[in-house]
Structure 1
Amino acid sequence: MNDSLAAGSAIAHYRITSQLGVGGMGEVYLAMDTRLERQVALKILPASVASDQTRFRRFVQEAKAASALNHANVATVYEIGQAGSAAEPIHFIAMEYVEGHTFKDRMAEGPVGMEELTELVVQVADALDEAHSKGVTHRDIKPANIMITPRGHVKVLDFGLAKVSKAEDAANSASAETKTESGMIMGTVDYMSPEQAMGREVSHPSDVFSFGVVLYEMATGRLPFKGNSATETIDRITHLQPPPMARFNDAVPDTLERVVRKCLEKEVGRRYQTARDLLIDLKNLKRDTQASIIQSSIIQSSMMTPAAPAVTAPPLPVPPAKTVSLSMGTLGGLAAVLLLAAGGFYWYSGRTTSIGSIAVLPLVNASGNPDAEYLSDGISESLISSLSKLPRLRVMSRSTAFRYKGKDVDPQKVGDELGVGAVFTGKLAQRGENLRIQAELVNVKDGSALWNGQYERPMSDLVTVQEEITNEISGKLRLKLTGDEKKAATKRHTASSEALQAYQKGRFHWNKRAPQDTRRAVELFEEAIRIDPNYALAYSGLADSYIALGLGLLDGPSAPRDTIPRAKEAASKAISLDENLGEAHASLALAEFFYDWNWVKAEDDYKRAISLNPNYPEAPHTYSHFLMARGRIVESLAMSQRCLEIAPSDVILRVHLGWHYQNARQYDKAVAEYKRILESEPNSALTHRYLGITYASRKMYAEAISELKRAVSLAPGSAALLSELGYAYAASGSSAEARLMIEDLKKMTQRYVSPFYFALVNAGLGDRTAALDWLEKAYADRSDLLVNINVDPLFDGLRAEPRFKELVKKIGLT
């Protein structure tokens, strides 16, 4: 038969009127049931494809799944049948024809108000509850599969990918064959659950996730995980948290934000386990939304009545035992004033919308004493850290904010540069044991002051002052916070001002990134721990310091065996004291990745770190390294880009993006990224270094040597740079200069020099045996630099060697 049926043709007792659409499971026609004289939707699987057993099973599965449901919000299946000849049969499903338009069409018309949204989505949840109660998982919930009738009724369509649970279909032995096989990805990518996107078994919570995506899109007009390709979208679904909905629609209530967040949990066990639980929450939301609209209408009406101003006079005493008669206008005005006095209404008093992003600029040290610098920096960092815990607030990272340190800046201009809604600035002066802080919160939109504050306190009140400032900022931003979210932002990590000062001094030295400062940071974090043995943040700082000392990636001066186990111990202790400390999970993940090569545990901790503190850039930064080492290039790029969303001006993270392109063999993109950085940061040794490595990877050795020599001049004493320059000399044919680099590395007796560096130069010289000998020594030292050998272009010459393949296998990279 033809691919499409002509109007007027007959299939059994159905007369074709017109084609409605074509989908993966067949063609759909509007038809007339000549027996019952009603319109139906006729879905047909043409004989030309009926021989495809997989497609035919899914076609039958849809009819069985939908026919098991009898619900007002599910399109009814009337019949499954066969027409045509025995040689060329036509299989069809006759189902209810639903007039109207889809959720997709409705969203294209414009914003969906909260009252309309709640009215519609409650019906969808009711339909899912019915399906799940019958053991049916839809598996393709999306706006195009949800219809709205002219009377506002919702109908869920297309059970073509539905799965029937064993409990509901045990009597039918063929049912197991109709399930999607594990490993196959079926459904619509933008609305897939993580488990569905990865081809794993799905169950009812998968529908909940897909419905959560629909909820998000309806409330904001945008998809939560949209990428530039299907692969990037899947990566975002499986790894990234969506931006808060309030960022795109400030009318979204907290309750809906929490409902959607629970629907979109990555881990199945953290989601709603049944559509019934979701339905209950959505019904409560619908009730509250309607009540809020009614209340708003009453108050606005009452405030417009002429009698309202009368209640602004001082209240009169009410004589006892007398009835006071008030007009309806006076009662309305009184109700309005009482509500306003209670803080229940915002619009009358001014700005109602929340501000969803902020930059906390470093406090200016006005003490005239450089020794107080740690305090001004430390308080600023603490505010950034505390505000970063708030789920609906985008906070510029420390590295981005501290670019403005020491500069006389206009907060409004800074806000425009960074694309944030508010900027915090201030000054700090320490006089003996007393502290004075002047602070201001500026609205970037119009330059107005949202808040001014001044604090004069003894140093012993340092902990309390930081909490008060955090509360003031979150309040003035009009953030809609739950009780738990408020507690997270102002969580007191220590009650000791002395411990806090030791911690802040430790961070001050740690941020200088020099070996002597890092060792001093270790001492200060240990001092903080001695003062308060339960100070989780101090253990986290200690972990970060040991990592900086022993990680070859950071050109650490100590052997990994002497430092990374200590880092892991400190991070584990921090987590035991505070399991919700995202920074500690990130440090633990780093040790598990770079030192233990425990790939499964490291990835779990990275995901936990990112979910706990989505504004902390180091977690996605090193997770991107992890993904690159595993060969998951698209996912690595998504994490690199996520870092830059958090810290767009961070030179290290911008260089990291170039590093990603380099190892993905996208050399032109890498070079372009490095050159963009050098336009504004011409003395960045890190950028010159990686630009040189990229040139070496492209066999542009003269350019590589030039860039690497520039990097060495900017950062003398770097073992990593000497080895990379030695490789470039060797690969260019300048073996004498390369061997001089080896000798210079041997002379670095005051620090640890990884065998990896000697392996790299020998790889450039073409001495495969020596290179592999050194790599095996690096393996014995647990060198973190080995994790990238499977993707690093500089080791391409060794890939065919059996010893190299065995080393890759031992590390766990295959």
Structure 2
Amino acid sequence: MYTAAPDDKVALRLQRALTGSYAFTRELGGGGMSRVFEARETSLGRTVVIKVVSAEVAAGVDADRFRREIQVAATLRHPHIVPLLSAGEADGILYYTMPFINGESLQQRLHQTGPLPVSEVVHLAEEVADALDHAHRHGVVHRDIKPANILLEDEHAIVADFGIARAVRQAAGHGQTMLTATGLVLGTPHYMSPEQGGGDELDGRTDIYSLGCVMHEMLAGSPPFEGHTAQQIILQHFVKDPPPIPRDDVPEALRQVLARALAKDPNQRYASAAEMRNDLRSLETRHLPPSRPATLTTRELGSSARTPTPSMPTSGPIDSLAVLPFDSPAAGTDDEYLADGITESILNKLTRVSGLRVVPRSVVFRYKRREIDIPVVAGELRVRALVTGRVRQRGQTLHVSAELTDALNEAQLWGDRISRSAEDIFAVQEEMAAEIVKSLRLRLSAEEKQELMRRYTEDSVAYRAYLRGRYQWNKRTRDGFLRAIGHFQEAIDRDPSYALAYAGLGDAYNVLGYYNYLPPRESYPKAKAAAMRALDIDEALAQAHASLGYTRLFYDWDFRGAEASFRRAIELDPTYASAHQWYAWCLLVMRRMDEMIETMRTALQLDPLSLIINAHMGYALFWAGRFDEALEQLARTQALDPEFALTYWPLGAVYVWQQRTDEAIAAFQRLVQLTGDTIGMGYLGITAGIFGRPEVTRDVLRRLEAAAKERYVSPLDRALGHAGLGEVEETFRWIEKAMDERVSDLVRLRVLPWPAAVREDPRFEEVARRIGLGAA
């Protein structure tokens, strides 16, 4: 009989709660997300394993949903899958049970014997692949294939913990933030596919990659990649080729199976576990000799040795990098906007180089004024190399230094210190971009060389004004947008042919109109004029086409024209994430939901840490009716920045449709609190009203009326408030005023939470028709 230590609160609570159902025999160990106990199930007299979900994970998991989700995996029945018997909660502790397997794990076997005979590797891998095939065909991806989860009984492989990672993830809700942070959902770094390490959507091919890592370890005695930290290991999955197996008894056909399973690109791997199983089965039927487990020396192991050297060998050409924010002496100085501008300029130039993946601005600028550990940051950003630098200006002399570093071995590939006249800022940026490309040994086409040297203005004063404008724009505040307009206009006054400055001006006026910082009839026409002027100067400027599309969508209500503008912008610059993001809005209005999701997903892939794109991805999933996925996405957005106000807009919308009253009201209250403005007040008003909190709605209407005496307030916010109180006539009076003022949010008329009395009024469909939204 197992007796828990007096200070082991988890074991004591679990034993007390399960007394009568299970008699605990011993603790078997555990790790990651669980502790493991052997017990006797008293009702059936059988020996089982009880796995306890750790407290830090259980705190973010809904127990009822965990049980429901685990039922999916419990339906799996296969000779090489350990079945799940039950799942539950006992005194606040989540647990699940499975049969006791009388055997060791593959991890224990490898620890005891080292590398396995080739025939045994093929045999075990074929059985695991067969188990994966069965699970994948039933919609279950394991997500954590590793030696510890492969049990050996009578020389056969049996895979444990199928569906557990998925059940925890699905049941987490907003605990997703914590789960990702602890690495429990991500898997185990040594066996993690590149897409899993990057937090991308997963399918069965991630398990195929993990099985490839396990096969490598069975053959070589260690996983393909090692490192001192999880980040170092994950980085190698992205950028480094697996080391060759240093054994002469491994047939070429098996090496090919391994290479295909370990392809970085999921599309280059086996399309299914069945296909991989068949190849392994074909190998097994060739009567592979039961060769002895090879004894490998440290010299033979090379980079597979357990203790990696600080300097890792490079592998193949460098095809991914991040340009980190150049350092400047102090925040708020001219040096800072210059440093930011030079960083962004070099980044944009390198983005144009085919075959080179460059991390977008919104991602790298999170590292501004942070201590940089090269391997750690490269691992977080999934890149092979980093560009770092410093900017100082003394009088009329500009001092810029920069370095290009290979993250695998921290070797400096290029570095330079440049001191030039401040007038030569263009040449400084061009030289650095060219030297970086040269150091990476990339071959440029004639067009790419031209893009690398492209200047939108020859006037350095105009350029500096433009950089100040972008610096203010990137603050993404009302004051920042207004200041940006002044700087963009200053740049235009210096150089009336500066197309990029006109595009910036258009973007600023668009956003001021969209968020009702300025009346739409004041801001949008100015945005359109600026975008049109930019295109008169340079028809091939993607930013200007996207800016024009924005105005056509939210002000002109010319949805076909907006689509044409966005498509042209994407054609000119497929890497421009905002163009994809705004195009997704356009597709929503035209009710092309599948295209909307894919387009927003593309925007997110291009700019994965953009807060606004992450929040809008959640909105897109909400509009498509995929509420659970929307909540997961919004939890990820909150993990990036819990203070980002616009996350709470779609979050509140999901809660409204799920009838989660208190949470919906709290989300919109948080939105209003964080913006410190009228943004979101209308949504708070209608939500509180329809959920029986009219006092909150009346307070919202009073605050909107008071605010309107000082600044522009959207009539649609008042319409929403009156709708929450059931005041239909007042609702339509304010909707008509919103129509007259061309309020942006009217394009979302159909997805707003109007009560039935408003939706069923004939005037509602008439308004939709006038906007161009088509029949219901």
Interval of TM-score (by shorter of Structure 1 and Structure 2): 0.5 to 0.7
Matched residues in 2 for 1:663 and 1:565: separation? 29
Structure 1 residue 797 displacement after superposition: 5.8
2:342 to 376, 379, 384: 379
Amino acid at match of 1:730: G
| One of 365, 380, 385 as aligned partner of 1:417 | 380
Q: Which residue of 2 aligns with 1:242?
A: none
Q: Which residue of 2 aligns with 1:694?
A: 654
1:813 aligns with 2:760: no
Q: For residues 309-388 of structure 1, what are the structure 2 equivalents within 5 Å?
A: 354-366=317-329, 370-388=333-351
Contact in 1 for aligned 2:398/2:422 (Cα 8 Å): yes
Q: 1:475 to 1:400 in 2, by over 3 A?
A: same
Change (3 A) 1:580 1:445: farther
Distance 1:631 1:248, change over 3 A: farther
Question: Helix, strand or coil for the counterpart of 2:680?
Answer: helix
Instruction: Describe how 1:425-436 pairs up with structure 2 within 5 A.
Output: 425-436=388-399
C-alpha contact 1:574 1:584 (8 A) present in aligned 2: yes
Q: Does 1:763 align with 2:723?
A: yes
Aligned to 2:264: none
Aligned twin of 1:742: 701
What is the match of residue 586 of structure 1? 546
Counterpart residue identity of residue 525, structure 2: P
CA apart distance, 1:778: 1.1
Q: Which residue number corresponds to residue 501 of structure 1? A: 464
Q: 1:594-653: per-residue Cα shift (whole Å, max 9, x none)?
A: 111112221111111112122221111111111111111111111111111111112221
2:368 is the alignment partner of 1:405: yes
Whether the 8 Å contact between 1:697 and 1:794 is mirrored in structure 2 is no
Distance 1:618 1:692 in 2: 24
- Check conservation: 1:586, 1:619, Cα contact below 8 A: yes
Does structure 2 retain, via aligned residues, the 8 Å contact 1:540–1:570? yes
User: How big is the shift at 1:527?
Assistant: 0.9
Give the CA deviation at 1:795.
Answer: 6.4
Alignment of 1:613-692 (within 5 A): 613-692=573-652
1:547 is the counterpart of 2:510 = yes
Name the SS of the counterpart of 1:566 in structure 2. helix
CA apart distance, 1:752? 1.2
Alpha-carbon shift at residue 790 of structure 1 (Å): 2.3
Return the TM-score normalized by structure 2: 0.58
Offset of 1:395 from its aligned partner? 2.2
Q: Which moved more, 1:501-510 or 1:702-711?
A: 702-711
Q: Write the distance in 2 (CA, Å) between the matches of 1:369 and 1:759.
A: 41
The 1:447/1:590 distance shift into structure 2, 3 A limit, reads: same
Return the offset for 1:793: 4.3
- Quote the residue 1:704 is aligned against: 664
Decide whether aligned partners of structure 1 residues 669 and 423 sit closer, same or farther in structure 2, where only a CA change above 3 A counts: same
Whole-Å separation in 2 of the counterparts to 1:812 and 1:249: 52
CA distance in 1, matches of 2:410, 2:516: 44
Kindly state the Cα deviation for residue 720 of structure 1 after the two structures are TM-superposed: 2.3
In the alignment of these two chains, the number of paired residues is 468
Equivalent residue for 2:431, pick from 468, 472, 495: 468
Q: Does the Cα contact within 8 Å between 1:394 and 1:615 map onto a contact in 2? A: no
Q: 1:447 to 1:228 in 2, by over 3 A?
A: closer
Say whether residues 1:604 and 2:564 are aligned partners. Answer: yes
Preserved contact between residue 388 and residue 614 of structure 1 (Cα < 8 Å): no
Question: TM-score of the superposition, structure 1-length normalised?
Answer: 0.55
The aligned residue for residue 223 of structure 1 is none
The equivalent of 2:492 in structure 1 is 529
Q: What secondary structure, in the 3-state scheme, does the structure 1 residue paired with 2:683 have? A: helix
For structure 2, the residue ranges without an aligned partner over 5 or more in a row are 1-200, 204-237, 242-312
2:516–2:714 Cα contact (<8 Å) kept: no
Contact 2:314 2:409 in 1 (8 A): no
- 1:695 is displaced (CA, Å) by 1.1
Q: How far apart are the structure 2 equivalents of 1:431 and 1:574?
A: 34
Distance in 1 of aligned mates of 2:628 and 2:548: 35
Which of 501, 511, 517 is 1:557 aligned to? 517
What corresponds to 1:730 in structure 2? 689
758-767 or 637-646: bigger deviation:
758-767
Task: Report how far residue 669 of structure 1 moved.
Answer: 1.7
Task: State the Cα deviation string for residues 529-572 of structure 1 (Å, max 9, x = none).
Answer: 11111111111111111112211xxx231111101111111111
Contact 2:715 2:735 in 1 (8 A): yes
**In the alignment, does 2:474 pair up with 1:511?**
yes
Question: Which residue number corresponds to residue 763 of structure 2?
Answer: 803
Whether the aligned pair in 2 keeps the contact of 1:620 and 1:642 (CA below 8 Å) is yes
Pair 501,723 (structure 1): closer, same or farther in 2 beyond 3 Å: same
Counterpart CA distance in 2 for 1:550 and 1:485 is 36
- RMSD of aligned Cα (Å): 2.4
Q: 2:314–2:408: 8 Å Cα contact kept in structure 1?
A: no
Q: Distance in 2 between matches of 1:792 and 1:806?
A: 16
Larger gyration radius, structure 1 or structure 2:
1
Task: Tell me, yes or no, if the aligned pair for 2:584 and 2:600 is still in contact at 8 Å.
Answer: yes
Find the aligned partners of 1:445 and 1:419 in 2 and give their Cα distance: 12
Question: Compared with structure 1, are the counterparts of its residues 760 and 441 closer, same or farther at alpha carbon in structure 2 (3 Å cutoff)?
Answer: same
CA contact (8 A) 2:649 2:667 kept: yes
Q: Post-superposition shift, 1:654?
A: 1.1
Q: Distance in 1 between matches of 2:443 and 2:753?
A: 49
SS in 2 for 1:381: helix
- Separation in structure 1 between the aligned mates of residue 534 and residue 344 of structure 2, nearest angstrom: 19
Distance 2:374 2:701 in 1: 50
CA distance in 1, matches of 2:753, 2:671: 20
* Alpha-carbon contact 1:412-1:423 (below 8 Å) kept: no
Q: Secondary structure in 1 aligned to 2:370?
A: coil
Q: CA deviation at 1:382?
A: 1.4
**How far apart, CA to CA, are the structure 2 residues paired with 1:605 and 1:797?**
37
Per-residue displacement from partner, 1:712-737 (whole Å, max 9, x unpaired)?
A: 332212x1222221122111111122
* Superposed CA offset, 1:177-234 (max 9, x none): xxxxxxxxxxxxxxxxxxxxxxxxxxxxxxxxxxxxxxxxxxxxxxxxxx999xxxxx
Aligned pairs for 1:105-144 (under 5 A) are none
Partner of 2:532: 572
Specify the code of the residue in structure 1 equivalent to 2:429. Q
Please give the alpha-carbon distance, in whole angstroms, between the structure 1 residues aligned to 2:755 and 2:411.
56
Deviation at 1:369, TM superposition (A): 7.0
Partner AA of 2:702 in structure 1 = E
Residue 248 of structure 1, CA deviation:
11
Structure 2 residue 749 is matched with structure 1 residue 786: no
- Structure 1 distance, partners of 2:672, 2:369, is 28
Partner of 2:750: helix, strand, or coil? coil
Counterpart Cα distance in 2 of 1:411 and 1:587: 36
Contact 2:239–2:384 (CA under 8 A) maintained in structure 1: no
- State the secondary structure of the residue aligned to 2:417: strand
Output the CA distance in 1 between the equivalents of 2:451 and 2:340: 21
SS at match of 2:679: helix
Q: Aligned residue for 1:12? A: none
Deviations 1:692-745 (A, max 9, x none): 23212322121112222233332212x122222112211111112201101101
CA distance, structure 1, for counterparts of residue 751 and residue 592 of structure 2 = 10
Shift of 1:796: 6.5
Letter in 1 for 2:693: S
Work out the CA distance in 1 between the residues paired with 2:331 and 2:736.
54
